[in-house]
Structure formats: C-alpha cells, structure tokens
Amino acid sequence: MRRTLFGVLFLLGLLMIGGLAGITNASTPTIEVLHVEGTIVPVVAQYVDRGISRAEEVNATACVIELNTPGGLLTATEDIVERIMNAEVPVVVYVSPKGAWAASAGTFITLSAHVAAMTPGTTIGAAHPVAAGEQEIPEDAMKKITQFSAKWMRAIAEDRGRNMEEAELAVTESKSFTDIEALESNLIDLRADTLESLMSQIDGWELVLASGEEVTLDTGGFEPVKNEMNFIERLLQAISDPNIAYVLFTLATIGLITEISSPGLIFPGVFGGISLFLAFYSLGVLNAYWGGVALILLAVGLFVAEYFTTSFGLLTAGGVTAFVFGSLILFSRSPGIEVDRGLVVGLAVAISAFAIFIIGAIVRSQRRRKATGTEGMVGGLARARTPLEPTGTVLAEGELWTATSEGDKIAPGEEVTITKVEDLKLWVARKQKK
C-alpha cells in the first residue's frame, strides 16, 4: 500500500513539474531571428525559407529577418516575398544596423513583411530595374520590366496596407527614403534602435496571416533564437558574389594555363579545376551571359596556343582582348549584377604579365644551348664510391662509372668534378673548395 501511494505521489510530482515547465516556456515567447546581409541570391532565398519553416515548426511568436542588402536577383526576391507573404507565423523585417540599407530587392522584401521596421540611420528604396555592366536593355523590354516591378510593388503595398503611390515611385523613379521619410510615407510601421526596442513596441499588435488567422503578438520578455546561415550556405552566398565568381573563373584559367604549359606540376591543375567548378556554380546562379564565358575561354585557348606557336605575341594580345570583352559582358543579362571595373583591369594586367613571363621563360629555354649525352656531364659533380688510386668507381647522375683521378688520391665519399668523358670512362679532379 505504501509503495502504491508513493508511486502515485511521485507521478503527480512529475506531472506538476512538467506543467510548471510548460507554463514557464509558454510565458517566454520564442522569436526566431534570421540575419540576411549581402546580395539576394538563391541560397539566401533557401535560407529564409528554412528559417521561416523552423519558426512555423516550433510555433514561434514571430520570425524576425534582420536585413542589410544592396539588392539582388529578381527570381530570388520573388521566392522570398512569396514565402513571407504566405508564412504561417508573423514575419518582421528589420532593416539594421545603423548605416544599413534595403535597396532594390530589399525594398520588396521589407514591404512584404507583416511588420516592417528600420533602425535610425538606414535607407530603403531605389528599386528601379537597372542593366548590369552598362549594357543597354532595349527600351520596350526595359519598359515591360519596370511596369511589372511597379505593379508588383503596388500589389505588395496594397496587401500590407502601405502607401501604394510612394512604393510605386521607388520603382518608377528610383526614389529612396530615410527611415524617417519611410515612416512618414507609411512604407514602414516603426523605427527601433534595437531588437529589444522593436519587440517592446510591437507587443500586443494584432495581425492577419495569409490563411486568414488573426494573431496577437506576445513579445514581452521574448527569448531570441539566432538561426544563422550554416557553413555551406555562407560559402555558397560568398561565391555567388559577382566579383568572387569572376575572380574564381580567372584563377581557374591561370591554374589550367600553368598546368598545360608545365605538365606534371599537379597543384595548379587541381586548384584550377576546383576554382572552375565553383565558378560555374556562381555563374549559373547569377545568370551569367554565356557569350562572355565563351570569350574568356577563347582567351585561355589563345594563351595556350601562344606557348606552342611562334606568333610574336599576337595570340597573347588577342587573348587579352577576348578576356576584357568577355569580362565586361559576363553579367549583361542580370540587371543589378556587375563586376567591378577596377577588378577587370587589374586581372587583365596580371594575366598579361603572367602570360609574358611564361612566354619569356619558354623563349629563354629554347635559346639555351642543350648539352645531351656524355658531353653534358662535363663540369658536373660525382661522388667517389671507391678509392681513386688513380682509378676507381664514382656515382654520377645516378649511375656507377669507372673514373680516373687526374691528381691526388681521392677517398671514398669525396665529391669530384668531371673534367672529361672518354668512351665509358670519366676523368675527374678533386672539387675545389671555395
């Protein structure tokens, strides 16, 4: 009887402890915090999707996206906006820290949030489609792109109850807004110095999700859960930068040229192959113009041909020209994505210098008198294996030779200089000490 009573009391104790723990957890709202910084590319869209899905799984009070971006790809932006607007938890986009901006794609993302906030000293806007690399987009095509982007921005603003006219001007006139101007224009909901201040201000707000469910934000005494990008996501985002992609592609060409010009080095070929693999991933993500890729590959072919053909530098000059033109049009199909011009010039000069160095080395080696056979051994070193009194055995070029000393007795292990080769016999002399 006592054992039964003890068991019942023990079970009740466990249930009470579990209940208290549940009450404690319920009283501490969980806020999933994502951090998006840099160009908006597909891996960023995947990260946002993963973060919002995680917030939905744990039934978080809200999912906060700390945003700082100069813009990015339209397709990735569409994926992020669609995910935010159909989220099953409230999504808060917070442009931060001070000095940050949500330009171009960042404007669409900010306005699509259930709650849009900015840190004092941040900016938003300038969402007009642009052409990369100063490439001209046909007027009709640009007009269609602009109209689509403007209507999309207006639809997002209307759904979130924001100022549709001002939002549309961010696209049609590339209008930008400071945090104060954005708040006054009803593009954002509030300004907050810190995440804590933001959570405090939105505590108790009532929101409607895409499903029609009405929720009340309970963010008092919130518990932030940082959900950062994993290593693979950070790596893929880093190499998705147009400048990094361009550098990787250039390093790949240099490595492959080195391996072809000097077979057997191995490392340049392996390094070039890995760089080429990563570069092709980046170029595919950034929707690179394959005409530009083809020109750069043509440049590689011309550089390699120079090493096997006497063209007096004409092939190298053609290679440099193809490389520069290919670099300039590499991202011509991706509005807002371009390679820094200074980087193009610097790498073009570096590759030219590298090609000239290799050509010079080849020319010098061809002009150098080649000594082959036994004649090439004269002046070389050998090591005595047996005493030379005056005849004995020496090791020369990995082989044993009969040798005769022209001077004093040579002890085993002593280094000697080969002075003459006659038939299959060497004549040697003691190596002079410096």
**Which residue matches tokens 């077979």?**
263
Same domain flag for 221 and 253: no
pLDDT by position in tens, the chain (length 434): 444 444 444 444 544 444 434 433 445 678 999 999 988 989 999 999 999 999 999 999 999 999 999 888 888 999 999 999 999 999 999 999 999 999 989 999 999 999 999 999 999 998 776 554 444 455 666 677 788 889 999 999 999 999 999 999 999 998 999 999 999 999 999 999 999 999 999 999 999 999 999 999 988 888 889 999 999 888 888 888 888 888 888 888 778 777 776 666 778 788 888 888 888 888 877 777 888 888 888 887 887 777 667 666 788 788 888 888 888 887 766 655 677 788 888 888 887 787 777 666 666 655 554 455 566 678 888 888 889 888 888 888 778 888 888 877 888 888 888 888 887 788 888 877 65
**pTM (two decimals):** 0.67
Number of domains, the chain: 3
Confirm whether 408 is domain-assigned. Answer: yes
User: What is the model's pLDDT at position 162?
Assistant: 95
Confirm whether 5 is domain-assigned. Answer: no
Instruction: Label each residue of 318-377 as H, E or C.
Output: HHHHHHHHHHHCCCCCCCCCCCCHHHHHHHHHHHHHHHHHHHHHHHHHHHCCCCCHHHHH
Residue 117 β-bridge partners: 94, 190
Confirm whether 127 is domain-assigned. Answer: yes
Q: Which string of b and e fits 1-23 if b means at least 16 CB within 10 Å?
A: eeeeeeeeeeeeeeeeeeeeeee
User: What is the model's pLDDT at position 82?
Assistant: 96
Between CA 101 and CA 4 the distance in angstroms is 66
Same domain flag for 136 and 73: yes
Confirm whether 3 is domain-assigned. Answer: no
User: What is the model's pLDDT at position 319?
Assistant: 83
Confirm whether 9 is domain-assigned. Answer: no
Same domain flag for 219 and 269: no
Same domain flag for 168 and 91: yes
Strand order from edge to edge, sheet including 123-125:
101-103, 123-125, 176-178
Same domain flag for 157 and 273: no
Distances (CA, A) of 220 to 30, 38, 54, 195, 203: 10, 31, 21, 12, 6
Same domain flag for 250 and 176: no
Q: State the residue range of the domain holding 104.
A: 26-233
Confirm whether 10 is domain-assigned. Answer: no
The single-letter code of the amino acid at 180 is: I
Same domain flag for 112 and 158: yes
CA nearest neighbour of 400 among 421, 379, 426:
426
Same domain flag for 32 and 149: yes
Same domain flag for 289 and 333: yes
Same domain flag for 181 and 64: yes
Same domain flag for 360 and 398: no
Instruction: Label each residue of the chain as H, E or C.
Output: CHHHHHHHHHHHHHHHHHHHHHHHHHCCCEEEEEEEECCECHHHHHHHHHHHHHHHHCCCCEEEEEEEECCECHHHHHHHHHHHHCCCCCEEEEECCCCCEEECHHHHHHHCCCEEEECCCCEEECCCCCCHHHCCCCHHHHHHHHHHHHHHHHHHHHHCCCCHHHHHHHHHCCCEEEHHHHHHCCCCCEECCCHHHHHHHHCCCEEECCCCCEEECCCCCCEEEECCCCHHHHHHHHHCCHHHHHHHHHHHHHHHHHHHHCCCCCHHHHHHHHHHHHHHHHHHHCCCCHHHHHHHHHHHHHHHHHHHCCCCCHHHHHHHHHHHHHHHCCCCCCCCCCCCHHHHHHHHHHHHHHHHHHHHHHHHHHHCCCCCHHHHHCCCEEEECCCECCEEEEEECCEEEEEEECCCCECCCCEEEEEEEECCEEEEEECCCC
User: What is the model's pLDDT at position 22?
Assistant: 41
**Which residue matches tokens 């020369």?**
396
Structure tokens at 159: 């759904």
Which among 319, 352, 367 is the end of a domain?
367
Same domain flag for 355 and 382: no
Confirm whether 4 is domain-assigned. Answer: no
- Assign residue 184 the CATH number of its domain: 3.90.226.10
Which among 190, 209, 233 is the end of a domain?
233
- Assign residue 379 the CATH number of its domain: 2.40.50.140
Between CA 305 and CA 284 the distance in angstroms is 28
User: What is the model's pLDDT at position 137?
Assistant: 53
Confirm whether 7 is domain-assigned. Answer: no
